[in-house]
Structure 1
Amino acid sequence: MPHLKITGMTCESCAAHVKEVLEKVPGVHSALVSYPKGTAQLTIEPGTSLDALTTAVARLGYQATLADAPPVSKSGGSLDEMRGWLGSGHKASGDDNTLHVAVIGSGGAAMAAALKAVEQGARVTLIERGTIGGTCVNVGCVPSKIMIRAAHIAHLRRESPFDSGIAATAPVIDRSKLLTQQQARVEELRHAKYEGIMDGNSAINVLRGEARFKDDQSLVVRLNQGGECVVTFDRCLVATGASPAVPSIPGLKESPYWTSTEALLSDAIPERLAVIGSSVVALELAQAFARLGSKVMILARSTLLFREDPAIGKAMTAAFRAEGIEVREHTQASHVAHADGGFVLTTGHGLVVADKLLIATGRAPNTCSLTLDAAGVTVNVQGAIVIDKGMRTSNPNIYAAGDCTDQPQFVYVAAAAGTRAAINMTGGDAALDLTAIPAVVFTDPQVATVGYSEAEAHRDGIETDSRLLTLDNVPRALANFDTRGFIKLVADAGSGRLIGVQAIAPEAGELIQTAALAIRSRMTVQELADQLFPYLTMVEGLKLAAQTFNKDVKQLSCCAG
């Protein structure tokens, strides 16, 4: 009857988890695990996989070594095999010579880091307190873009530039069925891109619970099934993401307000929806609900998309108002009341009455419960973890990536940061260049930006030369009978080098990566203007905008080079 010595257990709950995983190993009849003694007594069949036994324990974050035991007969020869295997120096079992990386979180940054760390030869304990997959796949990018697309289809059935030749029809919205379709795709992607991959990777152990730092080389995990355990690590990545930020408005916390999470999971479309916020999430969801049938009012503390070039906010406000969305600029709620199933918001411009209230005022890093001070990890005033270009924190053993850091909150930035963090945690030296990050707001028209705006360039002491091309000069927009928006290029005045692009246009997101590549390649606007672009594409607008630095494009033929 083989005995294992188990190190790392801190409570009876740990012993219960070790027992559970050991008894799931094929060939194991029973496992008697003692927390006080730190042992596991096994009843196994001959030929039982010893790799599976030790790996099962290692995946929980503990270590298994062979305890003293009497010799066994040939029929029980698995113990002899176990003795030889454990003494052979095999590193897959999670012994002291295999770098152990703890990853807190399971979203884009965490998943990218876990896979890269394993690829680099480490073993990983991934700790997740909630749903595997993080924000993007579960309650962010994926469900929101599905809802936005459905709303766009509804809008086109109700109204399009071709209504004189294609009869419009009022769509019948069944939000419950749309939600079922939306969530089915969310679950499909979560399993395919997260759960399934981790289940199939023996070097990644998933621990379900909430982690906090005990010191700079160990975590205490409050397990979802009850109890706590300690996970020691050589390196740790914090990738806990962010959550919707809620402003301090009297009466708000006592009301059943929505954040983006509740809005995306609602199986009904409210008759009247008030939205507090003026940035990406607020505008995307406001337009989606309006197109699915809500009467929407946006309360903007300043103007829409106030951090962007002012022309963008003006164009977006005009587009929203044209669709019947009420935009109240420079308006704040001083009080929120909820009674009789409705909301009453007090503002400086009168009362606002709504059936539902969506709060979309940004996202705050999930760092409060981590006890980062116990590990000597520095955060900024917003609670975001401060990191360098290699994702290193103020503690040399601890790294961070994604929305819980002071990096831009984009899932593609998070994933890239996670990969580079893993390289650095395993002895490499990788940096993340954030000088030209493309960004897209998935409204209609879309907003897409990369690099400097004029104001940002001037703040950095860069003299600029800029051009703005309205879409009535872009053949694709004319063919679509939809000329809302513009493309603006910002160049360094001295060199003519392209340093920024701002676009507001239908499908603007499909052209911005070309602009990003041009900026990273240090192209001048003249070099951009000289490139070949396919005719009747929206991205051709970049070439036309570049041509305006030296030509009047209104005097060119339709596809002039």
Structure 2
Amino acid sequence: MSSPQPHIAIVGSGSAAFAAAIRCAERGARVTLVEGADQIGGTCVNVGCVPSKILIRAAQLAHLQARHPFEGLMRRQPVVDRQALHRQQQARVDALRHTKYEQILENTPAIERVHGWARLEDPQTLRVIQTGGREQLIHAQRILLATGSHPAIPDIPGLGETPYWTSTEALNAERLPRHLGVIGGSVVALELAQAFLRLGSRVTILARSVLLSREDHALGEALAAVLEAEGARVLLHRVPEAVAHDGREFVVTTPEEVIRCDRLLVATGRRPNTEALGLDRAGVATDARGAIRVDDHLRTSNEYIYAAGDCSNLPQYVYVAAAAGTRAAINMTGGDTSLDLDVVPAVVFTDPAVATVGLDEAHARAQGMEVESRTLALDKVPRALVNFDTRGFIKLVAEQGSGRLLGAQVLAADAGEVIQSAALAIRNRMTVTDLAGQLFPYLTQVEGLKLCAQTFSKDVERLSCCAG
């Protein structure tokens, strides 16, 4: 960068944007952060990761009150005050937003916030429309687009004329539905469906194909069985033909039946916030979804413009967004670093949770690889046995011949705490023999990785309790 203090403009204020702003400031840049929303922080802290995990945890505790597995402890139906839960949830959201976003702005003079909606005028200029229609031009040596995404709404006749929920309305609801209909079969749909089910709502899930259709199908099948055992109605390969609202209820028409519910959650994925950015003015290329194409240095098709987070074609995880923002900042201020996405763990926060990393069998074979796999039921894992919760399994996929670990799929309580060990094993090109020989603390869920690795060469039924 030729300037002694480069000027970086960042559009957005979520995880990618703030990670970039902080690193740019650390590297001596002046940063202008442009955000049109009244609240900064983006989806994760405000209406995504943080409030959803609070709701999910509360629902888990309510569920355990009524259905825990231990004899001698009284079970009772929980009394749920949703308004009180929401107040506590919102207080924690507000506190985290203040600590992790607002306070950083207050304490970092190099970062200036401009309140308004930005679009590109040219590769190094933003036009910002502010309150009252006032306009401001911002010139910068580099621009980072980190505008996030919004819920994708399917084209179902009548749906747009109804008061349906997205995840935002569901998380901010202060009353529990009597009957919640859920359109969607992936992460957000399943997490919120189970949470409302456990808090006392009747729940019907309508999935276009199967649950978690992009993952090993055994995960979706097992999770569907869990949800049905808890009382949900799970309808697979079910696409609504029409949706109406009669003033009291939603009327969801499918080829097989008509479903009535008092609330309808639509959770069918998200779309990038790129339509209003004026990308064509700077020749910034997008994919078919409208996501901005970036390379491993977070560069777009225009050398002056970078992108990170859910508005780009990167995996839509907040930790990927933050890592991308940091690396984009380094590159925009004269450095040279790349974002390595070879090993990306993912978690679905149902109970049991779903966690994956690397390749499943189908994807490995699609790449022309010869593989072998082993699946270990949780009733072979001591931690699950003493928890009296053996729902789920651990599956490992290895390269045939070498035994190199290629992927792991886990359905288990605390699967999210298990999967990072598998990610590190894949990152370090360990074999299942290497993994089987590691020391794992006894009576931990992650010990199941070791046990599953041992099944490639041993019968774990014939091992002692500590699986040496």
Q: After TM superposition, is the score higher than 0.5?
A: yes
Structure 1 unpaired stretches of 5+: 1-94
State the partner residue of 1:480: 387
Q: Out of 17, 28, 37, which is 1:110 matched to?
A: 17
Matched residue SS, 2:200: coil
**Is the contact made by 2:405 and 2:429 (CA closer than 8 Å) also made in structure 1?**
yes
Matched residue SS, 2:397: strand
Greater relative contact order (Cα < 8 A, sep 6+): 2
Matched residue SS, 2:114: strand
Cα distance in 2 between the residues matched to 1:385 and 1:340: 40
Q: Out of 413, 418, 423, which is 1:511 matched to?
A: 418
Residue 182 (structure 2) pairs with residue 275 (structure 1)? yes
Q: Out of 332, 341, 365, which is 1:425 matched to?
A: 332
State the partner residue of 1:529: 436
Cα distance in 1 between the residues matched to 2:58 and 2:52: 10
CA RMSD, Structure 1 to Structure 2 (Å): 0.9
Aligned pairs for 1:20-169 within 5 A: 97-130=4-37, 131-162=39-70, 164-169=71-76
State the partner residue of 1:466: 373
Residue 464 (structure 2) pairs with residue 542 (structure 1)? no
Q: Out of 212, 220, 223, which is 2:119 matched to?
A: 212
State the partner residue of 2:399: 492
Range that drifts further, 306-315 or 219-228: 219-228
Q: Out of 331, 335, 350, which is 1:443 matched to?
A: 350
Residue 122 (structure 2) pairs with residue 184 (structure 1)? no
**Is the contact made by 1:274 and 1:296 (CA closer than 8 Å) also made in structure 2?**
yes
Cα distance in 2 between the residues matched to 1:473 and 1:158: 26
Residue 253 (structure 2) pairs with residue 342 (structure 1)? no
State the partner residue of 2:260: 353
Residue 341 (structure 2) pairs with residue 434 (structure 1)? yes
Computing the radius of gyration from Cα coordinates, the structure with the larger value is: 1
Structure 2 unpaired stretches of 5+: none
Work out the number of aligned pairs and report it.
466
Range that drifts further, 221-230 or 342-351: 221-230
The one-character-per-residue Cα deviations of 1:186-218 (angstroms, maximum 9, x if unpaired) are 000000000101111110000011000011110
TM-score by length of 1: 0.82
Matched residue SS, 2:276: helix
Deviation of 1:96 (Å): 6.0
**Is the contact made by 2:451 and 2:467 (CA closer than 8 Å) also made in structure 1?**
no
The one-character-per-residue Cα deviations of 1:261-315 (angstroms, maximum 9, x if unpaired) are 0000000000000000000000000000000111000001101111110110110
Deviation of 1:226 (Å): 3.8
Cα distance in 2 between the residues matched to 1:519 and 1:104: 35
Cα distance in 2 between the residues matched to 1:225 and 1:178: 37
Q: Which amino acid aligns with 1:99?
A: P
**Is the contact made by 1:498 and 1:518 (CA closer than 8 Å) also made in structure 2?**
yes
Cα distance in 2 between the residues matched to 1:392 and 1:226: 31
Cα distance in 2 between the residues matched to 1:318 and 1:337: 30
State the partner residue of 1:71: none
The one-character-per-residue Cα deviations of 1:511-535 (angstroms, maximum 9, x if unpaired) are 0001100000100000000000000
Deviation of 1:560 (Å): 2.8
State the partner residue of 1:197: 104
Deviation of 1:495 (Å): 1.3
Matched residue SS, 1:297: strand
Q: Out of 112, 135, 142, which is 1:228 matched to?
A: 135
Matched residue SS, 1:403: helix
Q: Which amino acid aligns with 1:376?
A: G
Residue 213 (structure 2) pairs with residue 292 (structure 1)? no
Q: Out of 332, 338, 357, which is 2:239 matched to?
A: 332
State the partner residue of 1:264: 171
Matched residue SS, 1:118: helix
Range that drifts further, 333-342 or 521-530: 333-342
TM-score by length of 2: 0.99
Range that drifts further, 220-229 or 126-135: 220-229
The one-character-per-residue Cα deviations of 1:93-124 (angstroms, maximum 9, x if unpaired) are xx964210000001000000001011111100
**Is the contact made by 1:470 and 1:485 (CA closer than 8 Å) also made in structure 2?**
yes
The one-character-per-residue Cα deviations of 1:351-371 (angstroms, maximum 9, x if unpaired) are 000000000000000000001
Cα distance in 1 between the residues matched to 2:402 and 2:109: 53
**Is the contact made by 1:129 and 1:224 (CA closer than 8 Å) also made in structure 2?**
no
Q: Out of 269, 293, 308, which is 1:401 matched to?
A: 308
**Is the contact made by 1:446 and 1:509 (CA closer than 8 Å) also made in structure 2?**
yes
Cα distance in 2 between the residues matched to 1:194 and 1:211: 20
Cα distance in 2 between the residues matched to 1:97 and 1:423: 15
**Is the contact made by 1:244 and 1:361 (CA closer than 8 Å) also made in structure 2?**
yes
Cα distance in 2 between the residues matched to 1:218 and 1:416: 25
Cα distance in 2 between the residues matched to 1:469 and 1:167: 32
**Is the contact made by 1:402 and 1:413 (CA closer than 8 Å) also made in structure 2?**
yes
Deviation of 1:509 (Å): 0.5
Cα distance in 1 between the residues matched to 2:27 and 2:81: 48
State the partner residue of 2:149: 242
Deviation of 1:224 (Å): 2.8
Cα distance in 1 between the residues matched to 2:131 and 2:448: 53
State the partner residue of 1:38: none
**Is the contact made by 1:274 and 1:357 (CA closer than 8 Å) also made in structure 2?**
yes
Matched residue SS, 1:154: helix
Q: Which amino acid aligns with 1:277?
A: G
Cα distance in 2 between the residues matched to 1:225 and 1:144: 34
Cα distance in 2 between the residues matched to 1:161 and 1:511: 22
Q: Out of 304, 311, 335, which is 2:218 matched to?
A: 311
Cα distance in 2 between the residues matched to 1:341 and 1:392: 50
**Is the contact made by 1:210 and 1:224 (CA closer than 8 Å) also made in structure 2?**
no
Q: Which amino acid aligns with 1:542?
A: L
The one-character-per-residue Cα deviations of 1:58-114 (angstroms, maximum 9, x if unpaired) are xxxxxxxxxxxxxxxxxxxxxxxxxxxxxxxxxxxxx96421000000100000000
Q: Which amino acid aligns with 1:161?
A: P
Matched residue SS, 1:171: coil
Cα distance in 1 between the residues matched to 2:154 and 2:467: 52
Q: Which amino acid aligns with 1:150?
A: A
Residue 258 (structure 2) pairs with residue 375 (structure 1)? no
